[in-house]
Chains A and B, each alone.
Chain A
Amino acid sequence: MTGTDDTDDDGILAAEYALGLLDRPEAEAFEARMAAEPALRALYAEWEERFAALTDELPEVAPPGSTYDDIEDRLFPLQKRRAGGMGWLRGLVGAGVLVAALAVAVLFFAPGEPAVVADFRADLTHPAFDTIGVGATDDGVFHLILFDYVEPPEGSDYELWLVAGDEPPVSLGLVPRGETGDYWTELPPEITAAFAGGAVAVSVEPAGGSPTGAPSDQILDAVGFTDLR
């Protein structure tokens, strides 16, 4: 058998493998060879790319809205979802303590801003936000810092809420418009104790913030605070 014939057979074998036409022992034998033979991997990749073009004719279909939550539940069964109503949010209160043992105190620095030793931290999962840190600057004033955010769509505002104990959610202010980057805001000293075992939520509100003083049903994100003290 010549080398050309070998290549020829492998080219068709690679196509059959890509199409899923090989039976299990044949497919496993092919995979074992691919692991050792870059040329065979290239033949397979070439067919897979060609055939993938066939999916262009399938009309895209948005999966049901609950699908992503179900995936997160499978992957992170003990943690939060990225959106939902307020009821489950209560379940987060106190959840931060579970991960406290893994956490280390983090020093946050930002250009032109004082250093803050964070007492509490929440890693938001919505793509528009990054991490929230809460802690005192050198002068003892407590700050909330939202690291990296994307400003809300025209006509709406993102509002931050502290959810703790059985108290109604407390507004922590609006995510600013017209700028992006890190957002710093001072916190009144009397609420800082509530961050222990509390959670932060981000709601979508009409421009200017919640008209009712309570978050709307549209919660973008909610995460329990990790106690770093």
Chain B
Amino acid sequence: MATRAEIETWLAQVTLGDRAAFASLYDATSAKLYAVTLRILNDRDAAEDALQEVYVKIWHKAGQYSVNGLSPMTWLIAVARNHAIDRLRARKAAGSRPLDEADAVADAGPGPEALAVASGERAALAACLGELEADKAQMVRRCYLDGWTYRDLAETADVPLNTVRTWLRRSLMKLRECLSR
């Protein structure tokens, strides 16, 4: 795993048009970003295509990574995730694929073993998600990991959209309160 300093250096070099640095960045981060696009798009061809577009964006926008104060890896993940979500929503708008219910219930989140080996930040988040009701925690995970919208959540839970919005916003408040402890 590349260090934060290495990724920062590569991004700075990419800003200057350094293709060798871009290759190094790709080698160090593509398996992680592919995991992100694959999870959201749930289709290998679509995920690979999205991954290509993500790295094209990274090449052109490397200089902007520090604008919002994100760590370099978080920025890369955000670029990949946002792009995959755009593609997912375009696909849904085109009506080509409905939400996959079987897939939606397959993932129960990290087991106890995964939690035991978790890094500090991940452990804190997992612990605080664990303080939420299970279905509310799952909503947060669905939104982040699968790119679900309020509409998706409402349809799956079979409640009005405003109800899930209220649920989720309350859950986020609890989450923040827990994480700040």
Binding site for B on A (CB under 8 A): 11-12, 15-16, 19-21, 34, 41-42, 44-45, 48-64, 67-68, 70-72, 74-76, 82, 124-127, 130
Contacts and interface: CB of A to CB of B under 8 A. Distances in A.
Given A19-B140, A20-B85, A48-B78, A63 B31 contact: yes
Contacts, number: 125
14 contacts: A15-B175, A56-B118, A58-B32, A58-B36, A62-B31, A63-B34, A63-B51, A67-B30, A67-B51, A68-B30, A70-B52, A75-B59, A125-B19, A127-B23
Contact of A62 (B30, B59, B69, B175): B30
Interface in B1-55: 19-20, 23-24, 26-27, 30-32, 34-36, 38-39, 48, 51-52, 55
A12 B27 CA distance: 36
Interface of B: 19-20, 23-24, 26-27, 30-32, 34-36, 38-39, 48, 51-52, 55-56, 59, 68-71, 73-74, 77-78, 81-82, 85, 109-110, 114, 118-119, 121-122, 124-125, 140-141, 143-145, 147, 149-150, 168-169, 172-173, 175-176, 179
Contacts of A48: 68, 70, 74, 78
Contacts of B55: 71
A44 B35 contact: no
B160 to A, nearest CB: 16
Given A19-B144, A20-B147, 13 more contacts: A12-B176, A15-B176, A21-B149, A48-B68, A48-B70, A48-B74, A52-B73, A52-B77, A54-B144, A55-B36, A57-B114, A62-B30, A63-B51
A21 B110 CA distance: 23
Contacts of B144: 19, 51, 54
B23 A44 contact: no
Given A11-B176, A12-B173, A82-B23, A45 B35 contact: no
Say what secondary structure dominates the interface of chain B: helix
A55 B32 contact: yes
Ranked 8 nearest A-B pairs via Cβ: A60-B31, A53-B122, A58-B35, A19-B143, A45-B69, A52-B74, A63-B34, A15-B172
B131 to A, nearest CB: 14
Contacts of A70: 52
Given A61-B34, A63-B31, A74-B52, A54 B125 contact: yes
